[in-house]
Structure 1
Amino acid sequence: MKKVTIIPLLVFLFSVLNTQAQSYDAFVKKVNETYLSIPNTQFCASMCECTNEDYQVFLAASPENKQYIYDSAGWNFSPYFKDAQVYNEPLTRVYYQHQAYKTFPVVNVSQESATAYCAWLTQVYNSNPNRKYKKVEFRLPTEKDWIQAATGNLPEPNEKKVFPWRGLTFKDKKGLYLANFASVGEYNIKRNASGQLIYDTLGFGSDLGSDGAIYSTRCVGNYPPNDFGLYHMAGNVSEYTSVTGQTKGGSYISPGHYLLLKSNDPEFPNMEKGGAFIGFRPFMYIQEK
């Protein structure tokens, strides 16, 4: 009878599991530090949108998670913008692999994939001894919760906010943009023969560059946070809510109207399947402290 030695195999498996546990220790520590409590609620919101780096941890966690891989072909904008003068083809090769993009928001993932990420994160977090809270659930926020997190503090009883920041403009006192979005300059707006206002798409890109991004995302934390310390609650990428196909916050391709707190992003066909301008921000709902 052939003798089978199982000790080396057990040692190997223990080593693999221990290495994975240690990597999750660092991951959970990061979660503890970057999910910020929203006052007068029982939930926390991620400081930033889910990044390529974090999503790669999810994809590598199990073979089953590979089904939720991003669709790099989504960087082709032609289905949405027939006249877009952009060249994003290189991003299909480098956006998810190059180190320069690891802190950029993951895009081209479906709403189902974002939900699966949240379910995986819930399991990882609740099983880790270094977690901050005893039991939580990560999920996509309701529209109401998203708006509450995006609004930030209201120091005056009658104060109203229209953006995640204070004020009624898209720039700070130094004239710097507070978000990346499709900022169509006044010089690009004109009237057609019927008297309707239109914008000149050939001049579109010139003003887009002034906010730091032209038809692309920016690394998370690139613009000032709101009062709660949350970055990119307006602009960068539109963020899934718990409602199928609904996103909030606008993106780098959105005109300024969609950066308003109560605006819903336009509904393109099959929004729930994702796009190069759609990402997500997990919320942590505290069940036991």
Structure 2
Amino acid sequence: MKKLSILFTAGLCALGILGTSCKSSKKSAGASSKTGWAYNDKHNGGFSVAPKIQPGPGPGLIAIEGGTFVMGGSLAQDLSYEYDNVRRRVTVASFYMDETEVSNVDWREYLYWIQRNFPEDREYYYNALPDTLVWRRPLSYNEPYVENYLRHPAYQDYPVVGVSWEQAREYAEWRTDRVNEQILREKGILLDYKSLAGNTKGGGKGKTTAAAPATKDPFNTDIYLNGQYKGEGIDGKKMPRNLNPAATATTTTAGKGKGNSVPRRPVTREDGVLKEHYRLPTEAEWEYAALALAGNTEYENIEDGRIYPWDGLGVRSGKKKTQGLIMANFKRGEGDNMGTGGYLNDKADITAPVRSYMPNDFGLYNMAGNVNEWVEDTYRKLSFEDFEDFNPFRGNQYVDKRLEDKNKWTYAKDKYGRPIKDPAKSRRKQTWAELNGKADSSASTKHFNPDMRGYKDTVNQQLYGTVTLINDHSKVYKGGSWNDRAYWLNPATRRFMQQDESSAEVGFRCAMNMTGSTEIFTKYKPHFSQPKSRASSKAR
């Protein structure tokens, strides 16, 4: 087995994408190849162009180099006769994925943040609580897990369970905002945490000043990028310079002092500072990452297929030092959850810590066993019949951010400071007149359905979701758990559950889109050399 995690890490270091971003060049970004106008020049209009970088993964994520694979191809026997993952060749774009499942301590950090920022909002906190009652069984004494599993420090590194698909998506949205807020505060673009808490830098031990002005709403990435999160008590000392000649300097508490009398602006998406949104992985991404066939690939030739996230036909290690050990946390048979006392095999009666067993060739832990994992897709038995062969996904629900003021282009916010999102009205960019209600937009919205979870499905709407669980609220989970047999460890197997339900056998991990180059490990790989553009030479 070729362990690619070391090679990928070396490749990421070579590309400079293990950290927040590559080290940007201090040289000028140059001039436009089409107009000749200089970039970042306040004298000719101040059009800002950031140095080209390859963004790195957010905290907790590992880069997964994409490629083609046969989805459903690892399932040799369909023991349940579902025929719901028939083989088809697809391509998955490169992306990032959590190294481990989200753990109890990760979730408790989320709960603590809610409690600290919205102490009076009991409903918000209650809705974020996992359902610890999933441990209860009519004929089993599991009450200690009901009381201890989420909160006791002995279980803090164990995967969080009792979390619904809806809760997992809420966590991913919250995580996006906390990661981006941390980046901006560390860089001094937003007021740093110490100043925000009222501590003076260098003011002496124990000395504090009055607390910085409290912000009405917590940081939200979309609201910030729309220019709605700025001002006194928010802006930091190291905001980017605003090169627009029409811009005027603004004075804030953080902006006083030498070198801060120039116009400043918030970070924009064009600066490449902020991370992409955390989200659940699609089913295709999850299956591709679990198989990690890149570890068995050389010059586009896959030497060996896989049934599990490791090589071989069995579930035991064949290596000398670990020979015979179970490779994942699962149930070997009726009444056998961990082996024999005195020589426990998989060493876990229920779940195990999120960094248990050996990672696969992408460096991902527990892609088989421990807990099943939610994916983004809506379940359809015949998903393989109607699918895109690039980034296949069944679950698109197109939305638009609601405008609070169309003249100022500001977003409407909910009580938690997040943009309110409405079903998309059109499949294309509306005209200005349509957007402002000054023209008949019926032609652009006719027959448009923003909910594409059941793409091309023909069903009896009167019985849809009433006499069957196969509906728009049924979501896929994969991977097998501590309470499942080995069959479910195969990445191609799939099951479903309602999006508001939870289980002691289901957890999740997050993913993130990768922007820029798709190739991760470039060393020793052939590449075309790029000659200097002829257009860049001076005309004679």
Contact 1:137 1:286 in 2 (8 A): no
The 1:217–1:144 alpha-carbon spacing in structure 2 relative to 1, beyond 3 Å, is same
> Does 1:104 pair with 2:158?
yes
Q: Unaligned stretches of 5+ in structure 2?
A: 1-19, 21-56, 67-92, 119-123, 188-271, 378-473, 518-540
Q: Are residues 1:140 and 2:255 paired?
A: no
Deviates more, 1:270-279 or 1:128-137: 128-137
Gaps of 5+ in 1: 1-27, 79-83, 185-200
Query: TM-score if structure 2 supplies the norm length?
Result: 0.41
Shift of 1:211: 2.1
Partner of residue 155, structure 1: 297
Aligned pair 1:170/2:315, yes or no? Answer: yes
Q: Match of 2:78?
A: none
After superposition, residues 7-46 of structure 1 pair within 5 angstroms as 32=58, 34-40=60-66, 41-46=93-98
CA distance in 2, matches of 1:246, 1:104: 22
- Does structure 1 retain, via aligned residues, the 8 Å contact 2:337–2:483? no
Higher relative contact order (CA 8 A, sep 6+): 1
**Whole-angstrom CA distance in 2 between matches of 1:227 and 1:233:** 11
Q: CA 1:128 to 1:42, structure 2 compared with 1: closer, same or farther past 3 Å?
A: farther
Cα RMSD after superposing both structures: 2.5
Q: State the alpha-carbon separation in 1 of the partners of residues 311 and 338 from structure 2.
A: 27
Task: Report what 1:249 is aligned to.
Answer: 479
Instruction: Determine the C-alpha separation between the residues in 2 that align with 1:56 and 1:217.
Output: 18
TM superposition score normalised by structure 1: 0.74
Deviations 1:27-77 (A, max 9, x none): x9xx84531000134421111000011111111222334411011111113
> What does 1:52-91 correspond to in 2, within 5 Å?
52-62=104-114, 63=118, 64-78=124-138, 86-91=140-145
Cα distance in 1 between the residues matched to 2:173 and 2:281: 13
Query: Is the 8 Å Cα contact of residues 240 and 247 (structure 1) preserved in structure 2?
Result: yes
> 2:164–2:502: 8 Å Cα contact kept in structure 1?
yes
Structure 1: which amino acid aligns with 2:317? Answer: D
Select the structure that is richer in helix: 1
1:47 to 99, 108, 118: 99
When residues 39 and 249 of structure 1 are mapped into structure 2, their CA distance, relative to the original with a 3 A threshold, is same
The residue number in structure 1 matching 2:332 is: 183
CA–CA distance in structure 2, aligned partners of residues 50 and 235 of structure 1: 14
- The one-letter amino acid paired with 2:134 is G
Give the drift of 1:271. Answer: 6.5
Larger radius of gyration: 2
- The 1-side partners of 2:338 and 2:179 are apart by 45
Question: Residue 178 of structure 2 aligns to which amino acid in structure 1?
Answer: V
Identity %: 32
What's the offset of the Cα at 1:279? 0.3
Shift of the alpha carbon at 1:133? 6.0
State the secondary structure of the residue aligned to 1:128: helix
Residues 64, 289 of structure 2: 8 Å contact kept: yes
Question: What amino acid maps onto 2:351 in structure 1?
Answer: T
Mean Cα deviation higher: 121-130 or 276-285 = 121-130
Segment of structure 1 superposing worse, 134-143 or 45-54: 134-143
